[in-house]
Structure 1
């Protein structure tokens, strides 16, 4: 019996390995497609506006998406588990105001402590989302839509119609956005470091692989002993943590902070994630793809400005990009399932 069982099980490993390589190939094709789209946009715009390819303009594009990219990385790990966090804009706005207002009242506070404060506040707010979704079993889209308004309401209560301006915070805080390290703006470096850390964690850590498993097949993940509740809770906590960091950087970059800070950021973040190839139904996607998605959106925004077109088009483009990406994901998911099923049957 054991010999027969062993013989029957041997062919499974090559099939699984082949399936994994096939899925990875599709992911690489998505990223190459994003690069092709980005290249096309660059060519079209640079022909009409030659200064588009200037180093200063390219730096502005990367600066404009640095904070977006940090928040999108956190959103990515949530979406991988078949969930979504719509409260990210409110968390960024609330932490931005708390950080800036704390420095307004206590200018001598160490900037590192301010960064830690923002991260702790973001982590706490993310934990609220995680508890409601992971343990309360409330659908994420409903739970985070609610906390979006709750957190924004807290922001309005704290701000009370006031704002913090650049003149009311120390230069050391504003320097977070203006300092350059080896000629590279610190904001861009922050975004790159965050992206590299989470790329490594998703690809090589056990928990990272389990997130993909939860998104691919929650029932199967539960059967093999993956503690989905804890991991889903953890994704929202990490998303909140990154939003807290982004909030501190938001205050430093835009200087003037009020209760409306980062309003609407959630739409841009979700757009960057789905345009970047992360399946909204969970289980697939990469940080590299998300960063490319954010760069594409930032490039489109910059192009509209240079071409002197209305910025109202940006929201329409973001919405259209989400619809197109979700539709494409659904098509690709069905196509992959058919191909994998055909391979197994052979």
Structure 2
């Protein structure tokens, strides 16, 4: 008597490759990436130098790199259902400190300056996190206050002075212009940080806890998660990446005044929100925030080429941010209804 071997039924689209393709097609980041490509194509059609000249291709990759770092740090904070308005001030403060270190400590190694900038940013971020986590004051209020405090310290320290390119070592300034295989070194640094941040959020328990806290802080407390520690960590990461951006700002532009980094906090929030990081917390990826940073600054470069005046340039960015928030709300309501329907079927 021969035994009958059951052959598993193959469900169309159930393979790993099919699931990966379906995930990529339906991902929020894919839509943002397509929008970025369309903007680049439109601007290049109007002026081929936008992409096909050496400076055009370099600027396309280089200009958003610093904002990418700040937006990635901002994403950590927003995912925990908070906000950080002080990042622009941290960028300005660390950028000026970078120049002062090279002036006041002649011969200081470049790596020491990088460590100092990241450390200062991390400390300023920790102050934000401690006030938010332990004082139980909304992050919007805390970081609005520290934004002015950090900027005030920067203005008082800088005065009427500024850092000039001639004050900085040649090898440090080279970081702002050097390329590897036609890719700017600053962009490579930003992408390495992006990959590390994405890996941490996806694969490490601490990274996944950021999402749990942002989705439902009360439930996270009941589950035993160290909510305050994670919130502080998110602000430290945001501050440290802003500090790194400040050091690279000095390398990129050479000239640093008290206005360095001004307004970057709104651009970072806009990049994260456009990239799918829900302002209500618990949703989004740093990949989306990175693409959002590229889209935001590419639009600023492309619209003048397309003959669109300054008012409409700002209006387009505003529409993108509002559209992203509305889309997040629509998706959240749809997901809520789907969960209710599944619960009813389960009964």
TM-score by length of 2: 0.89
Residues 305 and 101 of structure 1: CA distance in aligned 2, closer, same or farther (over 3 Å) = farther
Alpha-carbon RMSD across the aligned residues, in angstroms, is 1.8
Match of residue 319 from structure 2: 320
Deviates more, 1:319-328 or 1:245-254: 319-328
Contact 1:82–1:283 (CA under 8 A) maintained in structure 2: yes
Query: How far apart are the structure 2 equivalents of 1:123 and 1:33?
Result: 33
Aligned to 2:245: 246
The equivalent residue for 1:113 is: 112
1:183 Cα deviation from its structure 2 partner: 3.2
| Structure 1: distance between partners of 2:232 and 2:306 | 44
C-alpha displacement at 1:26, in angstroms?
9.6
Partner of 1:32: 30
Hey, what's the Cα distance between the residues in 2 that align with 1:109 and 1:179? Answer: 21
Residues of 2 paired with 1:208 and 1:28: CA distance? 23
SS at match of 2:64: helix
In the TM superposition, what whole-angstrom CA distance separates every residue of 1:37-94 from its partner, at most 9, and x where no partner exists? 2232233223222333315313212100000001111000100000010110000000
Separation (CA, whole Å) in 1 of partners of 2:167 and 2:44: 40
2:41 to 20, 40, 43: 43
* 2: CA distance, partners of 1:156 / 1:317: 32
What is the rounded CA distance, in whole Å, between the counterparts of 2:137 and 2:164 in structure 1?
39
Partner of 2:282: 283
Q: In the alignment, which residue of structure 1 is the partner of 2:103? A: 104
1:76-125 Cα offsets, whole Å, 9 max, x none, are: 01000000101100000000001112212233111101111101110110
- Quick check: 69-78 or 27-36, which moved more? 27-36
CA distance in 2, matches of 1:73, 1:178: 23
Q: How many angstroms does 1:344 deviate by?
A: 2.3
Alignment partners' CA distance in 2, 1:89 and 1:28:
33
Cα offsets for 1:232-280 (capped at 9, x unmatched) = 0010011111111100000111111011101001111111000000110
Give the secondary structure class of the aligned counterpart of 1:262. coil
Match of 1:76 in 2: 75
| 8 Å contact kept, 2:92–2:259 | yes
Deviation readout 1:128-157 (Å, 9 max, x if unpaired)? 100111111110111111111000000001
CA distance in 1 between counterparts of 2:98 and 2:343 reads 55
State the distance in 1 between where 2:57 and 2:97 align: 31
Which residue number corresponds to residue 301 of structure 1?
300
Q: Which aligned pairs between 1:1-346 and structure 2 lie closer than 5 A?
A: 25=23, 28-54=26-52, 56=54, 57-307=56-306, 309-311=308-310, 313-346=312-345
Q: Give the TM-score taking structure 1 as reference length.
A: 0.89
CA distance in 2, matches of 1:310, 1:112: 42
- Report the secondary structure of 1:115's partner residue: helix
4+ residue stretches of structure 1 with deviation over 6 A? none
Match of 1:11 in 2: none
Are the counterparts in 1 of residues 24 and 30 from structure 2 also a CA contact under 8 Å? no
How many residues align? The count is 324
Q: What is the deviation of 1:319?
A: 2.9
Q: Please, which runs of 5 or more residues in structure 2 have no aligned partner?
A: 1-18
Distance (Å, rounded) in 2 between the aligned partners of 1:324 and 1:308: 23
Q: Which moved more, 1:164-173 or 1:85-94?
A: 164-173
In the alignment, is the contact (CA less than 8 A) between 1:94 and 1:152 conserved in 2? yes
